[in-house]
């Protein structure tokens, strides 16, 4: 099945695909890909356990660990379900992110900042373009992310990048390259990553709460890996050009150039109730707010 192996779908079967997407969101388990086909460890394989496509990433006092997709992708949708470290997770970060390689890399991040028992996680998102990030937002969640699995997704096309939690958009990064010259990730394929690591110098309550290693090992569980994106392999075999070309895939559909009315309402709700930090509002940090914040 094409969908399971990360290829996009030609627009001639788009209607079928849109119906399939709805079906798929309801029954994502049934459509989940085989982890081993799509991912491999990139850091500390001995801290990673794959139990029939339920993948446990462990952090202890010797190491964190990480997984990476075997391929890179340019545009499409990547999603995973995560159940975060339970109990005392202060100082830890669990991440689900996309990144290209090299110094001028592009990157899209979900970073889950742990907390002491009973205090809420925060999710930090960021967008790097051509090596430059500094676009953090932080949100609280409307559920306990340690009690059960929830889905986290990137939808990425030429017009926008949408960060979704359980299908609800929490952030949109819009392509304003032509309008105001802010660079937009559209030239480099990105790998898809999951990781856990110790970040107690900054993650929890500004770095004041350190990781309590007596509570190790810290385990985040990942499952239901879904990649429906354009595989970006090499210039030589034409896949790169195919990914860059517009109009071939379901994510090029005009309806996905921006949020639907329903999604805009959802985003508004999330921003009103759960946005706790936005770089676009941080006048103490920037002498001049970044250009994308002004329009």
Site for ligand NAG contains 63 (CB under 6 A) = no
The label of the residue with tokens 């770089």 reads: 279
Site for ligand NAG contains 258 (CB under 6 A) = no
One character per residue 92-111, x = contact with ligand NAG (rule: CB under 6 A) = ------------x-------
Site for ligand NAG contains 33 (CB under 6 A) = no
Query: Smallest distance from the beta carbon of 51 to ligand NAG, in angstroms?
Result: 10
The full DSSP string for 7-18 is ----GGGHHHHH
Q: Return phi, psi of residue 292, to 5°.
A: -65, -15
Q: How far apart are alpha carbons 163 and 143 in whole angstroms?
A: 17
- The residue nearest ligand NAG at its CB is 119
One character per residue 187-216, x = contact with ligand NAG (rule: CB under 6 A) = -----------------xx-----------
Catalytic residue among 51, 86, 107, 235: 107
- Which residues are CB-contacts of 73 (< 8 A; sequence separation ≥ 6)? 6, 98, 189, 190, 191, 192, 227, 229, 230, 231, 232, 243
DSSP structural state of residue 14: H
Closest CB to ligand NAG among 195 and 211? 211
Q: Return phi, psi of residue 251, to 5°.
A: -75, -5
The one segment of 22-30, 115-123, 254-262, 286-294 that binds ligand NAG by CB under 6 A: 115-123
How many CB atoms lie under 10 A from the CB of residue 58?
20
Q: Return phi, psi of residue 294, to 5°.
A: -95, -10
Task: Answer whether 58's CB lies under 8 Å from 51's CB.
Answer: no
Structure-block tokens of residue 203: 């993650």
Query: Smallest distance from the beta carbon of 274 to ligand NAG, in angstroms?
Result: 12
- Strand-pair partners of 83: 221
177 is catalytic: no
Query: Smallest distance from the beta carbon of 215 to ligand NAG, in angstroms?
Result: 10
The one segment of 21-29, 31-39, 71-79, 244-252 that binds ligand NAG by CB under 6 A: 31-39
Query: Which runs of consecutive H residues, i.e. helices, occur in 135-193?
Result: 177-180
Site for ligand NAG contains 122 (CB under 6 A) = yes
Site for ligand NAG contains 37 (CB under 6 A) = yes
Query: Smallest distance from the beta carbon of 19 to ligand NAG, in angstroms?
Result: 26
- Which residues are CB-contacts of 216 (< 8 A; sequence separation ≥ 6)? 59, 60, 61
Count of residues that interact with ligand NAG, criterion CB under 6 A:
17
Provide the binding-site residues for ligand NAG, judged by CB under 6 A: 34, 36-37, 52-53, 61, 104, 113, 115, 119-120, 122, 130-131, 183, 204-205
């Amino acid at each position: 099945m094409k969908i399971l192996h990360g290829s996009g779908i030609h627009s001639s079967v788009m209607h079928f695909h849109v119906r399939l997407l709805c079906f798929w969101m309801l029954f994502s388990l049934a459509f989940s890909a085989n982890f081993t086909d799509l991912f491999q460890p990139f850091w500390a394989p001995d801290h990673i356990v794959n139990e029939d496509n339920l993948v446990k990433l462990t952090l202890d006092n010797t190491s964190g660990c990480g997984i990476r997709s075997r391929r890179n992708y340019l545009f499409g949708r990547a999603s995973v379900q995560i159940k975060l470290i339970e109990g005392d997770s202060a100082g830890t970060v669990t991440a689900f992110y996309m990144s290209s390689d090299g110094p001028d890399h592009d990157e899209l991040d979900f970073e889950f900042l742990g907390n002491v028992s009973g205090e809420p996680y925060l999710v930090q998102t960021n967008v790097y373009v051509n090596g430059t990030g500094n676009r953090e937002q932080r949100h609280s969640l409307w559920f306990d992310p340690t009690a059960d699995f929830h889905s986290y997704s990137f939808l990425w096309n030429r017009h926008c990048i949408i960060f979704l939690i359980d299908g609800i958009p929490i952030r949109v990064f819009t392509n304003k390259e032509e309008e105001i010259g802010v660079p937009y990730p559209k030239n480099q394929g990105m790998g898809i990553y999951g990781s856990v690591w110790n970040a107690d110098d900054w993650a929890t309550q500004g770095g004041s709460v350190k990781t309590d290693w007596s509570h190790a090992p810290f385990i985040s569980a990942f499952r239901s890996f879904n990649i429906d994106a354009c595989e970006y392999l090499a210039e030589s075999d034409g896949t790169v050009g195919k990914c860059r070309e517009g109009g071939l895939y379901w994510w090029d559909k005009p309806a996905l150039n921006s949020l639907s009315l329903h999604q805009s309402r959802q985003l508004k709700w999330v921003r009103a109730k759960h946005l706790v930090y936005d770089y676009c509002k941080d006048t103490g940090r920037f002498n001049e707010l970044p250009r994308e914040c002004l329009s």
